[in-house]
Structure 1
Amino acid sequence: MKIAMLAPIAWRTPPRHYGPWELVTSLLTEALVARDVDVTLFATQDSITSAKLDGVVPAPYSEDPAIDAKVWEFRHLAHLFEQAGKFDLIHNQADFPAHAFSGLVDTPIVTTIHGFSSDRILPMYAPFQHRVHYVAISDADRHPDLRYAATIHHGIPIDDFTFNPDGGDGLLFFGRIHPDKGAKEAIVVAQAANRSLDLYGIVQDEGYYEREIVPSVDGDIVRYHGAVGGAARREALGSAQALLHLINFDEPFGLSVIEAMASGTPVIATNRGSMPELIEHGVNGFLVDDIHGALRAIDRLDEIDRAQVRKTVADRFSIERMADAYIDLYRRILGA
Structure 2
Amino acid sequence: MRIGILAPVTWRTPPRRYGPWEQVASHLAEGLVARGHQVTLFATGDSVTRAQLEWVVPRPLGESPPDDPDLDQFLHMVHAFRQAGRFDLIHNHLNWQPLLFAELVATPVVTTLHGAAMLEPASRRAFLRFPHRPCVAISQAERDAVPGLDYVATVPNGIELERFTFRDRPGEYLLFLARMHPAKGPDLAIEVARRTGRRLVMAAHIPPDQEAYFEQEIRPLIDGEQIRFVGEAGPAARDRLMGGALALLHLVRQPEPFGLTLAEAQACGTPVIGFDRGSVREVVAHGETGFVVETLERVCSAVEQAVRLSRAACRQRVERFYTVDRMVEGYLAAYERVLSGG
Are positions 1:34 and 2:64 aligned together? no
> Aligned partners of 2:311, 2:292: CA distance in 1, in Å?
17
Q: CA deviation at 1:188?
A: 0.4
Tell me which amino acid in the other structure corresponds to 2:293: V
> Aligned partners of 2:123, 2:170: CA distance in 1, in Å?
41
Are positions 1:175 and 2:178 aligned together? yes
1:267 to 257, 272, 294: 272
Q: Which residue of 2 aligns with 1:311?
A: 316
Helix, strand or coil for the counterpart of 1:159?
helix
Q: CA deviation at 1:83?
A: 1.0
1:123-148 per-residue CA deviation (whole Å, 9 max, x = no partner) reads: 42123232x21011111112023231
Decide whether the 8 Å contact of 2:152 with 2:337 is kept in 1.
Answer: no
> Aligned partners of 2:311, 2:125: CA distance in 1, in Å?
44
Q: CA deviation at 1:66?
A: 3.1
Q: Which residue of 1 aligns with 2:85?
A: 85
1:66-100 per-residue CA deviation (whole Å, 9 max, x = no partner) reads: 36310111100111111100100000001111011
Decide whether the 8 Å contact of 2:140 with 2:279 is kept in 1.
Answer: yes
Are positions 1:225 and 2:230 aligned together? yes
Q: Which residue of 2 aligns with 1:3?
A: 3
1:139-182 per-residue CA deviation (whole Å, 9 max, x = no partner) reads: 11120232311111101111210001113111100001111101
Are positions 1:215 and 2:217 aligned together? no
> Aligned partners of 2:46, 2:269: CA distance in 1, in Å?
33
1:15-26 correspondence runs (5 A): 15-26=15-26
Helix, strand or coil for the counterpart of 1:219?
coil
> Aligned partners of 2:157, 2:175: CA distance in 1, in Å?
22
Helix, strand or coil for the counterpart of 2:101?
helix
User: What CA RMSD, in Å, does the superposition of the two structures yield over aligned residues?
Assistant: 1.2
Structure 2, unmatched stretches of 5+, are none
Q: Which residue of 2 aligns with 1:50?
A: 50
- Percent same amino acid among aligned pairs? 45
Helix, strand or coil for the counterpart of 2:231?
coil
> Aligned partners of 2:267, 2:47: CA distance in 1, in Å?
26
Tell me which amino acid in the other structure corresponds to 1:35: R
Are positions 1:250 and 2:255 aligned together? yes
Decide whether the 8 Å contact of 2:95 with 2:123 is kept in 1.
Answer: no
Decide whether the 8 Å contact of 2:204 with 2:231 is kept in 1.
Answer: yes
> Aligned partners of 1:179, 1:66: CA distance in 2, in Å?
27
Tell me which amino acid in the other structure corresponds to 2:74: F
Q: Which residue of 2 aligns with 1:104?
A: 104
Larger displacement relative to structure 2 (111-120 or 49-58) = 111-120
Tell me which amino acid in the other structure corresponds to 1:121: S
Decide whether the 8 Å contact of 1:59 with 1:67 is kept in 2.
Answer: no
> Aligned partners of 1:66, 1:202: CA distance in 2, in Å?
20
1:111-130 correspondence runs (5 A): 111-115=111-115, 116=117, 117-130=119-132
Tell me which amino acid in the other structure corresponds to 1:2: R
1:321 to 323, 326, 335: 326
The alignment of Structure 1 onto Structure 2 pairs a total of residues equal to: 335
> Aligned partners of 1:88, 1:224: CA distance in 2, in Å?
46
Q: TM-score, normalised by structure 1?
A: 0.97
Tell me which amino acid in the other structure corresponds to 1:120: A
Q: Which residue of 1 aligns with 2:281?
A: 276
1:194-217 per-residue CA deviation (whole Å, 9 max, x = no partner) reads: 110000011232232123211121
> Aligned partners of 2:80, 2:89: CA distance in 1, in Å?
12
Structure 1, unmatched stretches of 5+, are none
> Aligned partners of 1:119, 1:171: CA distance in 2, in Å?
33
Are positions 1:297 and 2:302 aligned together? yes
Q: Which residue of 1 aligns with 2:140?
A: 139
> Aligned partners of 1:186, 1:123: CA distance in 2, in Å?
33
> Aligned partners of 1:66, 1:120: CA distance in 2, in Å?
24
